[in-house]
Structure 1
């Protein structure tokens, strides 16, 4: 049984035990009260940090508050997510949000203060207190931003304008989530009903081509109608990014975005170049898709249709977990034992129940353990989701176990590596075990689609972001026509000449919320390529590969992301990792064609 009428029907061993966080609500409230007290204490350091002793006292108080606040936030988030209708949980969640605002206000003075110091003064502070060695790396990482901080008056002005800078993103989100009205489609009863996003995600994969086309046209209808409005919004966002980068003394908006993680721009540029150089297998896959769908013209609404239909494997949760344990054996006994422990100790909330948050996630809580949310449906997709999320969870566990609180959380740049390594190992395990040609084709196609969505599509988006920002920095216009032309050109470059374009294709940029978080999506592609190389090396038994990967899992944010990956055997400053991933993709497409 994979769905339940109420949460009470779900066996306890498939539900979270939130007493690991707090024995009861009173214990949570005690931490909340303590947090408010600590926040008030932090405010008193504004203007009062004048030596190593006061700097240390501030940082220790801040870290203590951070630890408590994360626990308190996680508790209310989990209560809300297991039943989004629970009004009491919503009230508790609102309280933690209010506390978060107060904490932000209490510590807002610190970064401007730190960056107002000269290097010699900061070194002097650190030398005065031995315990400051614990915070030293993070202090110097923050201090890197000194050349990009303005005078106090200018910083205050930018701070006051912060809400205005958020305007383009807020406007798009309101349009995209609240105001947009999709077109109408014909339901199974022959009635005209308005399309929703949930309906679209299913219909665009429907085996009936007419249904796919109808859903596609209805989905794009508002984006076509609002083309000029959304172009104005995105143009404002890009120009704001370009202006702020210039004001803060960066060479470009891209350099500003890469600066925090200390990423060289060559990594970004090489990613795009390598993808374009090795794009032919993706075009090959489009031709295969056209052939298997038996269509005269391959259209955008054909790109998500199943080409290996009819594989319906029922995999109960217990069996899925055992399959995962078998598939991840290459990661060693300690990894497998931890996976068993996570299941036994109720770190995973397994089942879909009414009003439970959809999707899946992992959240590590330092000093406690990771919590994994699933909506398991006893099918193949649920198996892949389980393996993916447990990759995140074990990454969180190892980092928290081996790192102090200050470096226990890993950066976004490396966040998808562990989850993707697990998926690659699962696919290889299942391919090795299956003798069914149809299942083998299905698994190969699943992996290829992962490549297409997580790698190629994200690189295309990254290319679009780079070119739009470069145009803004050169003073060129970013209107609806130019954005449409650029996106259409890139879609053709990446997806190949065999796709016949409907008019809607060129409007694709206007529906992407990630474009309002500039230069974020490329990290999906670099993480995916890194994971492919790591998993390939481990499966090949390459000397030291497993040990270096385990070290990576234990490293949190103790070094810059590129350095952590280098230690794991992946050097993204060279083209090799992306080239190796492209070689793997080519092999997958070749085998699928053969099958």
Structure 2
């Protein structure tokens, strides 16, 4: 086993475990030829400027733009995949830098399009579609742009905003530099008494330690360090929010929240519904805290006890081929067609499986209209790696269906839908594992794993979303926020969410200061909605069978051909109602009942 885990160089990894990137370009010199073609085509886009009022020129621009975007995507995907498989290989880092830099040139060359389209007379686009039926393909795409007309500035105004975008993103950059580069943490003693420097990376291991002294030390050390920078971190976060509010006002929105949701046609009520529904069902989370306290045998349960596993289950060693078999069994309810696509992906080189020297860490799914939907893994033979495999393949099969079914302009999908396909696979897998596990300890481990998934993805991310909403509203009302204000708001939310059994330690008051997503306004609520939609789909698929699978595959095939709420609604999941979230909490309650029954 130690030999298996030994880190290999890229050329030592068996080709059957590597993605087939050569299918995009056989080598860098062929890539360079396409790059030259792109550079020759892009300057020609300027010839359309000032001519979009005629249907023929509008169509010609749109078709030329698609041609350029497709070529750009293909070049980007190849360069980045190659760069990620071995970050130490200079050849591919050069390709990445080249194409990343040129992407800005492409954007600049077509920057006239939206302002010019919006300057056309009312109904000009509708009339153009009637005159030239080939434009019908672009109807939703163009209507979506036009729907933002009242929130789009003049060409000069857009240019001005674009020119200060670097300045407006400065708070997030400052936060990143402070927390990733400049902040250091003191040493703590590990379980064996060794002095170890605490880092953001090893904190996640220490906070799960079976030794309570270790996790308490890690918790207090981490958050006391953040507290030492509370003034700077408050300034960076509140400045980021002020910038976002400035953008919202400049674009004629009533509030920052509306400006975040409106481009995807998501009503503000959907966000409020998420927060309200979770708030109305916090008793389920309170019960979980109470059961965890009992299972851990604690007189008091503290914030630093939340992540420690309640069950000691022996970690299985799962070979990759066995992981594929487990994955296929888990997602079997999705039917033969879906399973065949999954197998095709495994056999045809979608997946880059194992770690190698210089390979990027983590996991992702990426590709484009003219490539396979590739998956990067760093497979490590553990149960969690099986879950990662089905998660990323969920994204890739979503992309596969949308690209096969939709034209290029509708082949992508919004973040609101993106996590649904991946988490649906996870829900099906863990439901299968829980139902089929005979070992009591392993079954308890799996039940707790899904409970933790819902706690962290649904309840915790909703708490973040509520915090965001509260602090935006206070700043919009003209109330400045001090470090003490932010800490009090965050402390009170933790008291409310975790209930009477939880000792809400003062350290947690600073947790808001280490959440990078707060610099991407109103982003986190989509984790909650994505999990809820996925839970609804997996429940319907298991209970209803073929009819639910057909609706779900219809969702995967929809890509970006409509707004996210509409796409999900057509498939049977109405995210404008509380039902998907209520069903997720019911699943949480079912798992709690299983946990109580098994102990």
- Deviation by residue 1:530-577 (Cα, 9 ceiling, x = unmatched): 111111111112672111011111110111111111111111111111
Please give the alpha-carbon distance, in whole angstroms, between the structure 2 residues aligned to 1:455 and 1:189. Answer: 35
- 1:3–1:353 CA contact under 8 A, matched in 2: no
Aligned equivalents of 2:210, 2:366: Cα separation in 1? 36
Q: CA deviation at 1:125?
A: 3.3
Query: Which residue of the other structure, out of 492, 509, 528, is the alignment partner of 2:512?
Result: 509
Work out whether 1:262 is the aligned partner of 2:265. yes
3-state DSSP of counterpart to 2:501: coil
Name the structure 1 match of 2:529.
526
2:148 is the alignment partner of 1:139: no
1:97 and 2:65 aligned: no
After superposition, residues 279-428 of structure 1 pair within 5 angstroms as 279-428=282-431
SS in 1 for 2:311: coil
The reply on whether 1:167 has 2:170 as its aligned counterpart is yes
Out of 22, 25, 35, the position equivalent to 1:22 is 25
Show the counterpart of 1:40: 43
- The question of whether the paired residues in 1 share the 8 Å contact of 2:364 and 2:392 is answered with yes
Deviations 1:118-175 (A, max 9, x none): 3232333333433221222101101111111234443333233222211211211221
Q: Is the 8 A contact 2:406 2:558 kept in 1?
A: yes
Deviations 1:358-383 (A, max 9, x none): 11111132122110111111110111
For 1:48 and 1:182, locate their aligned partners in 2 and report how far apart those are by CA, in whole Å. 59
Question: In the aligned structure 2, how far is the partner of 1:311 from the partner of 1:35?
Answer: 54
Cα distance between partner residues in 2 of 1:178 and 1:542:
51
The whole-number CA distance in structure 2 between the counterparts of 1:309 and 1:462 is: 33
Please give the alpha-carbon distance, in whole angstroms, between the structure 1 residues aligned to 2:85 and 2:495.
43
- Could you tell me whether the CA contact under 8 Å between 1:3 and 1:351 is conserved in 2? no
In structure 2, what is the equivalent of residue 476 of structure 1? 479
Q: Which residue of 1 aligns with 2:34?
A: 31
Distance (Å, rounded) in 2 between the aligned partners of 1:238 and 1:117: 34
- 1:67 matched residue in structure 2: 70
> Paired residue for 2:447?
444
Q: CA deviation at 1:188?
A: 6.8
8 Å Cα contact 1:235/1:479 also seen in 2: no
Q: What pairs with 1:202-217 in structure 2 (closer than 5 Å)? A: 202-217=205-220
Q: Deviations over 1:84-142 (max 9, x none)?
A: 11122111110011111111111122112222223232333333433221222101101
Once residues 363 and 165 of structure 2 are traced to their aligned partners in structure 1, the CA distance between those partners, rounded to angstroms, is: 32
Pick from 54, 57, 62: which aligns with 2:57? 54
Would you say 1:195 and 2:195 are equivalent positions?
A: no
Tell me what 1:116 maps to.
119
The total of aligned residue pairs comes to 595
Q: Within 5 Å, which residues of 2 pair with 1:538-557?
A: 538-541=541-544, 544-557=547-560
Residues in 1 aligned to 2:99 and 2:153: alpha-carbon distance in whole angstroms:
32
CA distance in 1, matches of 2:129, 2:166: 35
Give the RMSD, CA atoms, in angstroms.
Answer: 1.6
Per the TM alignment, residue 8 of structure 1 is displaced from its structure 2 partner at its CA by: 2.4
Separation in 1, partners of 2:164, 2:27:
42
1:586 has 2:589 as partner: yes
Structure 1 unaligned runs (5+)?
A: none
Equivalent in the alignment of 2:236: 233
Summarize deviations over 1:200-241 as a string: whole Å, max 9, x none: 121111111111122222222331011011111111111222
Among 7, 11, 30, which residue is 1:8 paired with? 11
Separation in 1, partners of 2:409, 2:162: 26
Larger mean CA deviation between 125-134 and 99-108 belongs to: 125-134
Q: In structure 2, list runs of 5 or more residues that go unmatched.
A: none
Q: Does 1:454 align with 2:461?
A: no
Shift of 1:3: 4.5
By how many angstroms is 1:311 displaced? 2.9
Residue of structure 2 equivalent to 1:536: 539
Does the 8 A contact of 1:183 with 1:221 survive in 2?
no
Instruction: Give the TM-score normalised by the residue count of structure 1.
Output: 0.97
